[in-house]
């Protein structure tokens, strides 16, 4: 009886071991042969496991766009432009948002290099109305401003749909007010800034700075060309001093007065009909008349210089908030 129990125990142990081995082999087969019995080829398994070729291309394009952004951030503009130009050739493989991103970055690079019409072409192709579309319209408008096409710039800004009292709405008003100053439309400027809240730190300092430019423009009074010419006739250089120049009048004085002194001395010694007097007297007359004419013209020249400097500052103050707001 005791031997029977030992035999039974040994038999059960052998059966358990056999079942365990069989299960282990079955598991090994299931892991080593992933191809299902209904699968005809390995190619079908591959097609299921990875994205289709078009999706794979778009993933690659997204990686290239991120790299282009990295290049721009690190000021490697030529390399970024070369990369974006290559991506723009893949018209059939990109999604709409990728195409918009390519145009946006390309437009920004062209704007930065002052290729304003090239930038306008890129920005105008953007179809998105959300994350990319709004900043693209602001950049497109300032490109028109740099090209002195103020009406086109205003049309783009006025067509923008902005939430009431939003940053975009106030910034649009700021840009429109700046254009009004460039056009010397002071009434238009006054009507626009009446809606300012000055609560957006991104460009509140530029808003206040624009008011200084406005004050400089409206307070400037052009000097009289006739008075400038008359003063220069009385004393060389005095007309340019009246017009607003500080160093130039002394140069005119030091050039004209010695010629006058030489001409007078030659006239006293050799007479007014002598060849030396005709030479020095003619030189003095040319410089003297030129001084009078130059003084009259300098009134317009100094006004042009003043306007050019203010316009440059206005454009600069329009540009800085663009990068501050939209280029993160």
- Domain range list for the chain: 52-148, 225-312
pLDDT band of residue 124 (cuts 50, 70, 90) is very high
Tell which phi-psi region holds residue 303, choosing left (phi > 0), alpha (psi between -120 and 50) or beta. Answer: alpha
Q: Which of 187, 183, 192 is nearest to 144 (CA)?
A: 183
- Give the model confidence (pLDDT) of 285-298 as tens digits: 787 788 888 888 88
pLDDT at 250: 62
pTM: predicted TM-score of the whole model, two decimal places? 0.71
User: Rounded CA gap, 154 and 145, in Å?
Assistant: 9
Query: In the structure, what pLDDT confidence band is assigned to residue 40 with cuts at 50, 70 and 90?
Result: very low
Q: pLDDT tens-digit profile of 184-197? A: 999 999 999 998 99
The one-character DSSP state at 129 is S
Give the residue, 246 or 72, on which the prediction is more confident.
Answer: 72
pLDDT digits (tens, 9 = 90+) for 235-294: 888 888 888 777 666 666 667 777 677 777 777 787 777 887 778 777 777 877 888 888
Mean of pLDDT values over 116-124: 95
Q: DSSP class of residue 247?
A: S
Phi and psi for 149 in degrees, rounded to 5?
-105, 75
The DSSP code for 223 is P
- What's the CATH architecture for 52-148? Alpha Horseshoe (1.25)
Confidence of residue 11 (pLDDT cuts 50, 70, 90): very low
Give residue 316's pLDDT.
95
Question: Strands, DSSP E only, in 105-220?
Answer: none
* Cα three-residue angle 217-222-224, rounded to 5 degrees: 175
Tell whether the model's pLDDT for residue 41 goes beyond 70: no
Q: By C-alpha distance, which of 161, 186, 184, 157 is closest to 173?
A: 157
């Amino acid at each position: 009886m005791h031997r029977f129990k030992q035999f039974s125990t040994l038999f059960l142990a052998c059966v358990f071991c056999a079942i365990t081995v069989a299960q282990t082999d079955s598991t090994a087969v299931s892991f080593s042969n992933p191809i299902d019995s209904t699968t005809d080829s390995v190619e079908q398994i591959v097609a299921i496991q990875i994205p289709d070729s078009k999706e794979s291309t778009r993933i690659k394009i997204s990686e290239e766009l991120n790299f282009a952004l990295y290049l721009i951030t690190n000021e490697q503009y030529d390399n970024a432009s070369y990369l974006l130009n290559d991506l723009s050739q893949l018209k059939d493989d990109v999604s709409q948002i990728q195409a918009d991103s390519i145009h946006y970055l390309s437009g920004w690079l062209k704007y930065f290099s002052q290729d304003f019409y090239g930038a306008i072409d890129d920005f105008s192709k953007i179809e998105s109305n959300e994350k990319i579309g709004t900043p693209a319209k602001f950049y497109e408008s300032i490109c028109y401003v740099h090209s002195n096409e103020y009406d086109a710039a205003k049309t783009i800004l006025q067509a923008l749909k902005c939430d009431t009292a939003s940053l975009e709405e106030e910034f649009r008003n700021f840009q429109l007010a700046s254009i009004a100053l460039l056009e010397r439309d002071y009434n238009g400027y006054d009507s626009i800034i009446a809606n300012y809240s000055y609560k957006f730190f991104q460009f509140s300092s530029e808003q206040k700075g624009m008011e200084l430019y406005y004050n400089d423009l409206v307070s400037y009074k052009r000097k009289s060309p006739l008075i400038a010419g008359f003063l220069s006739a009385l004393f060389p250089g005095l007309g340019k001093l009246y017009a607003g120049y500080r160093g130039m009048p002394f140069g005119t004085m030091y050039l004209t007065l010695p010629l006058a002194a030489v001409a007078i001395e030659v006239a006293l010694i050799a007479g007014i009909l002598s060849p030396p007097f005709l030479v020095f007297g003619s030189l003095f007359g040319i410089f003297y008349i030129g001084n009078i004419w130059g003084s009259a013209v300098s009134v317009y020249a100094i006004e042009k210089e003043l306007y050019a400097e203010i316009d440059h500052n206005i454009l600069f103050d329009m540009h800085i908030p663009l990068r501050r707001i939209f280029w993160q």
